[in-house]
Structure 1
Amino acid sequence: MAPHETNAEAAATLSLGALSWVLADSERARRFLDVTGITPDVLRARADTPAFLAAVIGYLENHEPDLIACAETLQVGPEELTRARRVLERP
């Protein structure tokens, strides 16, 4: 993803990577489900929707250590995750 330009497809791909990062660790996944109130069934049903993917990044933004760790794993800057959230939230 170019630093100054993020399209919806690239934003969705990056957000799916963030979701995968959250779910890859059972403790982190449990915290995500507990904090958000999302059930596994809702996760399965909505994981590919822009609003849900934006919410995943929003969740990470609320806990900066996770945002930074996720960004490092995905080899992007935290600002790219934030930019992806904004793109996904566009009407």
Structure 2
Amino acid sequence: MGLRLLAHVVADDDLGSRFLALTGLSADDLRARADDPGVLAALIEFVAARESDLVAAADALALRPQTIVAAGDALAGGRA
């Protein structure tokens, strides 16, 4: 699910550029670390921080928003 969410974010010019700007990652860094649980947790946290982004991502991935948030919690080791 994290990789599908990553694809959704980078396909959206606004979301992708905001995520890169907020994390300080370059596009190359993101490609190299796409399977890093920490990066995926940060990605989910980024999407979940804005309800409109979370709902749009959930719709695009055919998931419930709560499923995305729960995945982020699991990747982050349960820390809130």
Aligning the two structures, in what range does the TM-score lie when normalised by the shorter sequence? 0.7 to 0.9
Q: Which residue of 1 aligns with 2:76?
A: 89
Q: Which residue of 1 aligns with 2:52?
A: 65
Q: CA deviation at 1:28?
A: 2.2
Q: Of the candidates 13, 22, 26, which is equivalent to residue 9 of structure 2?
A: 22
Aligned-partner SS, 2:25:
coil
Q: CA deviation at 1:27?
A: 2.6
What are the within-5 Å matches in structure 2 for residues 3-82 of structure 1?
14-82=1-69
Unaligned runs of 5+ in 1: 1-13
Q: Tell me, in whole angstroms, the C-alpha distance in 1 between the residues paired with 2:47 and 2:14.
A: 15
Which amino acid counterpart does residue 48 of structure 1 have in structure 2? D
Please provide the CA RMSD for this pair: 1.5
Q: Which residue of 2 aligns with 1:3?
A: none
Q: Tell me, in whole angstroms, the C-alpha distance in 1 between the residues paired with 2:64 and 2:45.
A: 15
Unaligned runs of 5+ in 2: none
**After the TM superposition, which parts of structure 1 deviate over 4 Å for at least 4 consecutive aligned residues?**
none
TM-score with structure 1 length normalisation?
Answer: 0.77
Q: CA deviation at 1:57?
A: 0.2
Q: Which has the larger radius of gyration?
A: 1
- Indicate the percent of aligned positions where both proteins have the same amino acid: 40
